[in-house]
Structure 1
Amino acid sequence: MRLSLPTPSTAELHRSERALYRFEICCIFYGLPELDDRCWDSWFNKLPKFELEQLSCLNDLLAHLIAPAFNDLIQHDVSWGYFGVVLITIERDALAQDFVSRGLETIHALVQAETFDQRRRILHKGDNPEDKPFGSIDFICESLQWTHSDTLMTGSPISELPTDERALVLGIPTYPDIPGDPGPLRVFELVQHDSQANKLVAQVEFRSYRRWGYVFWDEARLEKLGALTQDGLAKLTAPANPLEAYSMLEYSQLRESRARRSEIWQQGGTGWWSEDDESKVVWPEEKRGA
């Protein structure tokens, strides 16, 4: 079911902006091991669960945004073919997580890059084996997925908890006065109805909900969507997963491409390559003459 909906409200925009600020703070503290755990425990772990799920939605979206540029290099760069760099096919991909941890300014620069050379300048470290890109599994996905409640430890589904205990697990919105719209919390509680209290954020089975940013919307918009009942949720169609096509490509076409690019790299070639066009490969004599 697809509906024509109004543009985002001021409150919806504010939620998105707050999530972006929080995400950038995560990026700032990431890579500072003496600070990041303490920061997470003292601040992020105190946020209500639906606001942490907003960060998970944002992480997935950013992975979707950077994947085309990243995968363009993976498909066409000679060195990356030799290195065997694997396409980004899931949001939690280590390469994707490592890159989004660099912050919103760098992400924006990559998304705005229109050419292979522009993308290569942002992503590429060099053409030697030690320059192979390595990812990280320790950024925000891992922390969000294992976020627990300091106030209540239980393995019961939240639907089975008494009202007061459920409120403790879900947490109280940090900005109840801007405005006090119950939409995000209501839909989060509905989607997570059968989830255990210690598994409420960044869970793989709810990726389709995160693709439409379910925890960002006002109650009125969710009502119009029919998203505040179980039957209504079941009828909603999530946006297509933009990474699925890359998954098919990884297993169907890249083996021969990597083999050919490896041959070129071993002969000293670098740069852009295509099965139908090897004219842009840069050879050692061209580098010396540049």
Structure 2
Amino acid sequence: MPVPLLRRMGLIYGVIHDLTTDFASSAWTCLLKNEELELAGSLVLSPSEYLRFCRAFYRVELYLCLFRCRTRLTSVPFGEHHFFSNQPPWEKEQLISVLDFLELKLSKGSTIVITTAEHNQFRQLLLLQGVDFIHSLISESSYDDKKALLKSAFLVPYGQANLYNALISRPESDLNNIVTVSDYADEDDLEALFPPIESHDQNTDKGPFEAWRVAFNRFSTCMWVMLTDNSELREWAYVFWDLDRMETSGMLELFEYAPGYSELELACYDDIDEMRESFEERSKIWRKGGSGYWSKNDES
């Protein structure tokens, strides 16, 4: 392989390692706040847990690399909405968890320069830039450099790839299916609906499957991924932990009841109001002939 490509791969691995560590630590901190769990104070990921976190970030980055530059004049031998069609719902939930985490990091990393809002297309465009871009943004301390990095995202004619839509898309046959997870009394029958767990020793742990099963127990086929009410579970990285860890700590009992909204979801509602107020205040200043950097309650 060419040396520049090897170097690029090494740099991306470093980025994904940092993001994996950050996400796992953040999720663990959230879980420690639950008094009903029996958790140790510090987190040491098992090899299989570390593999799951890294693999999810790599899969997100792979999708973005393949589809973010698509235009009407380019073609890809497979549709973006079929890219994850052979993955079971708990692995799709892993990718959605990673997306939620990256979106939260993007929101925090750019909070001085842009505001956030649910379904904000500008923010989705920034997510398309990939893990290296987001890692650079959250690591950058200079306001001017941060703004320049954000502006660079709008200089490239990116396509309209939407990873959220690709993950949530389902076969037409599932749209009206009212069979719930709990209707499958035999877990083996439920697992048989999806591709077998990979043969690699580190991928055979049933923790992610069990976490997904209890979280979606009462939901039908057409709702087996990406529920808004489960956003806090994704913040807890619920489909990444080993079964032994979950059984020992009591996580499965906690995951059975969707707890509510994550930090990302709650921030969206607050940010919408702040964004509207910001637009209104800066518009007034602009109409009076003012310009420059503005922050709340400061027109100096």
TM-score with structure 1 length normalisation? 0.74
Provide the C-alpha distance between the structure 2 equivalents of 1:260 and 1:220, rounded to a whole number of angstroms.
53
Correspondence for 1:259? 280
Q: Structure 1: where are the runs of 5+ without partners?
A: 75-86, 280-290
Task: Give the alignment partner of residue 16 of structure 1, picking from 39, 53, 58.
Answer: 53
Return 150-159 or 173-182, whichever deviates more.
150-159
Is the aligned partner of 1:198 residue 2:222?
yes
Correspondence for 2:178? 155
Is the aligned partner of 1:189 residue 2:213?
yes
State the Cα RMSD in Å.
Answer: 3.6
CA distance 1:210–1:266, change in 2 (3 Å): same
Contact in 2 for aligned 1:184/1:218 (Cα 8 Å): yes
Provide the C-alpha distance between the structure 2 equivalents of 1:115 and 1:52, rounded to a whole number of angstroms.
35
Provide the C-alpha distance between the structure 1 equivalents of 2:265 and 2:142, rounded to a whole number of angstroms.
20
The alpha-carbon deviation at position 71 of structure 1 amounts to 2.9
Correspondence for 1:103? 130
CA distance 1:224–1:95, change in 2 (3 Å): farther
Provide the C-alpha distance between the structure 2 equivalents of 1:205 and 1:237, rounded to a whole number of angstroms.
8
Contact in 2 for aligned 1:169/1:197 (Cα 8 Å): no
Is the aligned partner of 1:88 residue 2:116?
yes
The alpha-carbon deviation at position 243 of structure 1 amounts to 5.1
CA distance 1:29–1:185, change in 2 (3 Å): same
Is the aligned partner of 1:53 residue 2:53?
no
User: In terms of Rg, which structure is larger?
Assistant: 1
Return 202-211 or 254-263, whichever deviates more.
254-263
Q: What amino acid maps onto 2:76 in structure 1?
A: L
Give the secondary structure class of the aligned counterpart of 1:68. helix
CA distance 1:108–1:40, change in 2 (3 Å): same
* Amino-acid identity (%): 24
CA distance 1:125–1:8, change in 2 (3 Å): closer
Which structure 1 residue ranges, 4+ long, deviate > 6 Å from structure 2?
Answer: 149-153, 235-239
Q: What amino acid maps onto 1:208 in structure 2?
A: E
The alpha-carbon deviation at position 105 of structure 1 amounts to 0.9
Provide the C-alpha distance between the structure 2 equivalents of 1:254 and 1:180, rounded to a whole number of angstroms.
45
Correspondence for 1:233? 255
Provide the C-alpha distance between the structure 2 equivalents of 1:234 and 1:211, rounded to a whole number of angstroms.
15
Task: Give the alignment partner of residue 115 of structure 1, picking from 129, 142, 159.
Answer: 142
Tell me the matched-pair count.
257
TM-score with structure 2 length normalisation? 0.72
Alignment of 1:36-51 (within 5 A): 38-41=79-82, 43-51=83-91
CA distance 1:158–1:236, change in 2 (3 Å): closer
The alpha-carbon deviation at position 236 of structure 1 amounts to 9.1
Correspondence for 2:190? 166
Contact in 1 for aligned 2:231/2:261 (Cα 8 Å): no
CA distance 1:262–1:36, change in 2 (3 Å): farther
Contact in 2 for aligned 1:47/1:174 (Cα 8 Å): no
